[in-house]
Every structure is written in structure tokens, then in C-alpha cells.
Structure 1
């Protein structure tokens, strides 16, 4: 099997300000071939039945705002329908049926990671940096497993912290001028990206110029594509907002967002993906007065929510060896719990991983439980509005109408 250590530099492309702990591990072309071949082989060999006509009875549907009375939800042809005759009946036992969860910021590399996502009801995940492109492609189109959408390679400046991680970003993939923005965006879209990512580096690192960041957003918007920006300190968020990005990923680890910046989130309709899970995992950053990075990040998330800035649930889940790893799938449930601790209501937390995550990533075929929508569904036993941790009490998962079943030995 592939030694996951060889891919640490790619996983670290989005970690908020963390230095690479395994920079000595190089990335070889043979490694790329091995993981790509393994992913593609699994697509062929994993036996998946066609989506069955299914009637999920005796369930309370979360409609994005509240729990509805007990009812039946029908699946046919991989989508939710009003009614399906001769359907297989699944008794929901009075549980709650949610739209499949969406992780708005993650770094999967293998089919095993898709299995982990699926087993926890995470039916869609945004891979917020993915390179080489063959690996991105090898994570696509695995029926019955989590659907991956990706940002391909994030825009970085030469000699910046993120460009120099490990073996570094290829020089011809770094951005030095606003004139390169349109070509950069075009390359990512040709590779299959559904969102463009760029990196506003922390203080002390070379970073994209403001003019270049502005040009990347203009070029992406001209192609009707949204832009996410890694911004993990106060000045980086300022630069991201000046560029009018659609999504700001992470929150500052040095100083909490103030009302001035938050008002710009609102005015520009920029959404936040705080990734509190990764701040908790690393407890990085912090202020000279001793406040830890997680506390600073939580304060920003609390202020954003209080101001009604839309928040999406993202984790930065990755496969860096312990103690740096953040588990795929289970970490999204942790993120929901942390968001509630930061002041979101349980309904707001659920929306952050369903309807809002779908809407702000232009995934209009999912995110709600309604006829005509893709049958990505999570059946749980408890009441997540009463207790957000109930999302962990999983009965069953459907992805594109196919009930997820773990492979033997997992």
C-alpha cells in the first residue's frame, strides 16, 4: 500500500499556518501512479448494486428548519420521489432522516478515505487542494461512496510558506502576476475543479499580491465559478475580503475578527468555513497575551454567527500520521459539536453541513430531503435538534440511492 507520508505536503497545503513536520518525505511519480492505480482499481472491483426502490418509513424528516411529523420517504433511480411502488421497506424506527452531510473542507487521497466519510454519513466532501490532478480524478465517480468535488491546486506565491512545503509546488504552478490569473483558473477547471482556491499567507511569508488575488476572483467569476481563500490570520482575512472571495476558509488564529471585518463578510455575502476541528487538534497560533489559537478561532466563529454570516461546516480532515491526523467522517460530527459550543443553534449547525454547504458550493441537487433531489440520506436514532451529538447515532446511510455497506474487513 502507498506510504501516506509521501503525500503530506499536499495535505498540509490547507493547514492553517502549521509548518511541515515531515518535509524530508519526497513525492515521487511512482507514488502518484500507485495511489491513482489503487483508487481506479477500487472503482472497478467494488461491487455496487443499482439504486433500489426504497421506502423509508416511520421517520421524522429534517427539512432544513425543523423536524416534520413521522412520514415515509421514497427513493427511486437514485433520487427522492413522491412515491415508488413495490419498494423495499426500511423501518426508520421513529428516527430522524437528514440530508447526507457535506464536509466543506477536507483532504482525501484514497478510496479508504471515501469509505470513512460514508460510514459517518458524510456523503459529499470538498477536497480543498488536490494535486497531482491524476489523484483528483481517481477520487471521482465511485458509486455508493462519498462524492468528492475538488479545488485542484490552490494559487500560491513563489517562495511562500505553502509553496515551499515539502518538495514544494512546481514553479510553473505558482502565481507571480495578475496577468496569470485567467490561465491559472482555466487550468484548474480543465482538471475538473468545481471551485478555485487561493492562499493568503500568514504575516512573515511572501504571499499573492492583492492585485493578483483580485484578478483570480475576477477570472473565476467570469467563468461562473466560486473562489475559496485560505486565510488563517487577521491580515489574511482582510486580503481575502478585499479580493471579494466567496468563501473564507479557517478563521484567524492571532486576533478575533472585529465588527469591521465582519460587516464586510455580510456586505459581500462571503461565507465562512471556520474549521474549528483543526484548531482544536493542533491548538496552533494564539496571541502574545497567551490566548490559544483554538480560543481565538472560536471567538471569531461566535462573532460571525452572531452577525448572521453564513457558516459552513468543514474540518480540514487529513491523513497526516498521528498526532497530526484528523479523521475523515467522524471529525465532521466533532465540527458540528464545536460550532454549537461556539454559539450556533443545533438547527444552524445542521444547516451548515447540509442545505448551506450545498447552496454555497452550487450543489443544487442535494442538501435537503425533498422529491427530485439526489438520495443522499443519513438516518439517525436520536434528535439532533435536542442534542447535536445525536448525529453520531447512525442507523443507515444512502449515497445516490445506494445504501452504504462497509467492505469486508473494515
Structure 2
């Protein structure tokens, strides 16, 4: 995989969805410094790309992953130009080789990270790892091993906040999970006092806070603690008017990860894997993973999840696109980096969002809620993170998979 830089590029004859709406402008000019113009004529010096029959989108943002360099590369091939890590090692010091302006690797997606989430000893996700597990820094970096912020008291949670910030966490994650949905009931879980204190301290430091919560009661705890965003949607039953109102009135956003909830209920990604536009980009390990599922909560109903997404959106809650993809292992199945973002968009439309509303959830809305003010939209002065697809995904959402070209910071990815 390689990239081909050019002094500047002018896309002409494009349908342009700027992250919020379809523009009248059909020309976008950009280079490695960013988007130079939206509308007008192509400069004589620019390399011209005729986008006739296609739609230009802002690069997609996946608001929930666990990742590595190989997965970041896979995501980019599907037009996902930024991944937001919700448990992992790509904090600021460990991703310098990816994000530095001059030395950045434009063959992989950009990344932000929470580091590791605040949870009690033995709490989620400890059940997924061998006893004594302590991850190191990402391969090929000189960074430090991540901080493991195990907390059982308010004082411990408060003390970990400045340490996480010093280690480069972009936002602070809290695990509110007793394991009942994942097939490990009785896991240690943060109590209300510890959660409340940790969230308040993170806010005091000006940090965005997010919560992993898979049940209605855990969701209530997180919202009552003042959390800024829920990075899962409860799946233990249908929504109630009370929980929807509670979330709406709090101003919190929700990353429902419908594809993850479907996998938890035993629904595989077979249909996505059968799509030749996806199959061509996945190796054997990822194909096998996508065709599997978590299957920890088969008693759940996907209709309940979709109904909750629609109720949240109709109530005015910001819904973001995320998938919770991790490593290519069948027990983490039903998901694949990049590809499943497109599946999530299809699920959002199935829940009742329009295609344009779903596209906002993967671009402008996510950028706004995570303070990524340099991306997520097509506008002069922003990063040239762009996805050109054939067709019109503002009317047919599956057209997002018709990849014609991907640019990260104005550099076109080759061999897409």
C-alpha cells in the first residue's frame, strides 16, 4: 500500500455532501494543507479528478474501536479516516508517528484514544484477559505501557484522572458493567460514589467523559453521574420514555454500536461479508471474524435496539456511528474495521434515520461531539480527509461502499 501526493487536487462534477447537507457546489479543491476551496473553478495547476456520477463525503469517523496499525490501515481502505479508540494504547505519546504533521503515515487512519477505562480490579474487561495481563506500548513505538486505572473508591478514581491525562488520554472512559450481558454476571462494578467522583474530576480538568454501559440501570447510573456520552446502547430490554427523557435532558450523546449489539445477540456479519465490495478488502482472518458473532446475549431482540435508536434520535439525542471492532478473532466476531462502519450506517437507516442523518452520525456530529474541529465536514480550511463513492448515499445508504477514492490529509490512498 502506498500513497501518491500531488501539489493540489480539484474534484469536479461531484455531488458534495458536506457532513450536514448536499451542497450546490460541485468542485472541491484541496492539497496536503487542507481544503482550499468549495465551489468555483478548478485552478489550472491542479490535478483534476472528474467525479461525475459520484458523491464526495467527508472522511468517516468511527467513534468506537480497539485498534492497531494494521486495523487503522484496513479502516482507511473503507473511507474511515479517523478511529476513536475506547480502550487501548494509542494515547498521544504512542501515536506520534501517525499524527505528526511531517512524519505521519497517510496509509492509515488517524486515531484518538481514551487509554484504558476506569474500572474496579476484576471488573470489565478484565474477564477477557489472562490473569496479570498488562499490555505494553504499541509495536514500533517508544511509548510507555498504558496506565491501568483500577479504582474501588472515589479517592482512587479522582487520583487516576490527572495520571490518565498526563499519559495522553484524549477523553476519559468509565466502565459501568456487571457482566450480566456479556455472560459474566457478578463482575465487580464501579459504585455510584466512585463513578460520580471520577466523572466530576475529569470534567474539572476539562476532559470529555464517556461510559461503557450495556443495561438500562447502568445507563441511568452514568447519566446521573453527568457523563458526556454513552458509547454503547443498553440491550437488556426495550427503552422506556423515562430513560429516553433522562438521556435527552442530560445532553449526552449515544454511540449505539448496533453492529455490536447484533453480534451479542448471535447475528453474524455474513450478509456484509457476502458483499463483493467488502470481500475484496478482507483477508481470511477478518472474513472468518466477520462471519462469526459474540452470541453472549441471544435472548435479546435487535428490534428493541433499533427502536431505542429511533426513539433517541427522535428525542433530539445526538447519535454517533461506532462499531466496537477489535482483533480478527472469531470470538470477537460480527465486526471488521472499516467495513462494519458501513454496516452500522445501514442499521441506523433501518432504525428510521434518513441516509443523510446516518451520514451526519459518521461525520459532522461525531467530529463536533469529540471536539475534532478540523474534520468531519467539507469546508474551506479543514483537513482534506475525503471519501469519493459512486452513486448517491444520501438516498441509498449502501452506496457508501462504492469506494472510488480515499484521501487522508489530501494524499490519495492507492490500491483502494
Cα 1:132–1:57 change in 2 (3 A) is: closer
Shift of 1:165: 2.9
Q: Distance in 1 between matches of 2:364 and 2:90?
A: 30
The reply to whether residue 374 of structure 1 matches residue 383 of structure 2 is yes
For these two proteins, the number of residue pairs brought into alignment is 358
1:87 pairs with one of 39, 46, 54: 46
Which shows bigger deviation, 177-186 or 331-340?
177-186
The alignment status of 1:197 with 2:173, answered yes or no, reads: yes
1:124 corresponds to 2:82? yes
- Corresponding residue to 2:31 among 54, 63, 76: 76
Q: 1:186 aligns with which of 162, 174, 186?
A: 162
Q: 1:328 to 1:76 in 2, by over 3 A?
A: same
- Which residue among 229, 236, 249 is the counterpart of 1:247? 229
Tell me the distance in 1 between the aligned counterparts of 2:70 and 2:31. Answer: 27
Write the distance in 2 (CA, Å) between the matches of 1:310 and 1:282: 23
Q: Which residue of 1 aligns with 2:57?
A: 98
**Superposed counterparts of 1:8-407, under 5 Å:** 48=3, 50=5, 52-69=7-24, 71-82=26-37, 86-109=45-68, 111-131=69-89, 136-137=94-95, 140-141=98-99, 142-144=104-106, 145-168=108-131, 173-202=149-178, 204-283=186-265, 284=295, 292-322=300-330, 324-325=332-333, 326-406=335-415
User: In structure 2, what is the Cα distance between the partners aligned to 1:371 and 1:134?
Assistant: 27
Give how far 1:193 is off.
Answer: 1.6
Q: Describe the shift of the 1:157–1:56 C-alpha distance in structure 2 as closer, same or farther (beyond 3 A).
A: same
Per the TM alignment, residue 369 of structure 1 is displaced from its structure 2 partner at its CA by 0.4
1:381–1:117 distance in 2 versus 1, CA, 3 Å: same
Question: In the alignment, is the contact (CA less than 8 A) between 1:52 and 1:401 conserved in 2?
Answer: no
- Separation of aligned partners in 2, 1:303 and 1:62: 25
Provide Cα deviations, 1:137-192, integer angstroms capped at 9, x if missing partner: 37733431210111100111123242343225669630111112333122222222
C-alpha distance in 1, partners of 2:199/2:187? Answer: 21
Check conservation: 1:252, 1:296, Cα contact below 8 A: no
Task: Label 1:54 to 1:293 Cα distance change in 2 as closer, same or farther (>3 A).
Answer: same
Structure 1 position 268, deviation (Å): 1.4
Q: Is the 8 A contact 2:61 2:366 kept in 1?
A: yes
Q: Secondary structure at the match of 1:309?
A: coil
Which secondary structure state, in structure 2, belongs to the residue aligned with residue 140 of structure 1? Answer: helix
SS in 1 for 2:358: helix
Q: Distance in 1 between matches of 2:98 and 2:130?
A: 26
C-alpha contact (below 8 Å) 2:81/2:109 kept by paired residues: yes
Give CA-to-partner distance per residue, 1:305-326, whole Å, 9 cap, x none.
2212110000011114125332
Could you say if the C-alpha distance between residues 152 and 56 of structure 1 is closer, same or farther in structure 2, counting changes exceeding 3 Å?
same
Q: Tell me which residue corresponds to 2:273.
A: none
| TM-score relative to the length of structure 1 | 0.81
Query: TM-score scaled to structure 2, two decimals?
Result: 0.80
**SS class of match (2:62):** strand
Unaligned runs of 5+ residues in structure 1 are 1-45
Where 1:232 maps in the other structure, the secondary structure is coil
User: What's the Cα RMSD here?
Assistant: 2.4
